[in-house]
């Protein structure tokens, strides 16, 4: 297991919200924008670095900055999630992170306990990739050792880290906790 001080949390929050009809990351949920729920829980982990990849001039940038997130602007979010992932991984590598916990801004229901369980399950030798498990399917949030940073930068479109997390050690989570927001009806 790696010390939390060597881990960077990376919040991907530059999505286009195509199916939602407006910016889903700013949609109100329990009195706060959707993306702030994940950000607040990630900030509680006490990791060495907090990084958020956002669109330029997003109203989220101020709120995330207030939580201590280093804001990386994705100038071309239309290139898909992989472009945001590559930018975030590059920043994590630059600051010297040993590992990166990647979370999505449209997954507001992930508990602090699940984020902590992912970090606890990580081991650079025996479990260099740790992913969330929903009914046997590996998915984000997921944690990656620096030895796979180069692979994480290679993705294109909305593929993200899908191929890498297929070989991850899995940490079970309640399926409701791993729900994402794609449409207005998904906000509960």
CATH number of 4-186: 3.90.550.10
> pLDDT by residue (tens digit) across 85-137?
999 999 999 999 999 999 999 999 999 999 999 999 999 999 999 999 998 89
Contact (CB, 8 A) for 74 and 51: no
> pLDDT by residue (tens digit) across 14-69?
876 555 555 778 788 888 998 999 999 999 999 999 999 998 878 899 999 999 99
pLDDT band at 159 (very low <50, low <70, confident <90, very high): low
């Amino acid at each position: 297991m790696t010390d939390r001080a060597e881990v960077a949390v990376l919040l991907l929050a530059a999505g286009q919200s195509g199916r939602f009809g407006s910016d889903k990351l700013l949609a109100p949920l329990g009195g706060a924008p959707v993306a702030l729920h994940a950000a607040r829980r990630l900030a509680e982990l006490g990791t060495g670095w907090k990084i958020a990849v956002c669109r330029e001039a997003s109203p989220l940038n101020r709120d995330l900055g207030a939580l201590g997130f280093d804001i990386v602007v994705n100038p071309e979010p239309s290139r898909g999630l992989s472009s945001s992932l590559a930018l975030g991984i590059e920043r994590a590598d630059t600051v010297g992170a040993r590992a990166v916990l990647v979370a999505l801004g449209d997954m507001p229901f992930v508990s602090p306990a699940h984020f902590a369980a992912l970090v606890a399950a990580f081991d650079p030798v025996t479990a260099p990739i740790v992913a969330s498990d929903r009914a046997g399917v590996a998915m984000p949030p997921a944690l990656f050792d620096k030895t796979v940073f180069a692979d994480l930068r290679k993705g294109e479109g909305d593929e993200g880290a899908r191929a890498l997390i297929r070989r991850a050690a899995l940490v079970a989570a309640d399926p409701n906790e791993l729900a994402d927001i794609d449409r207005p009806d998904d906000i509960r």
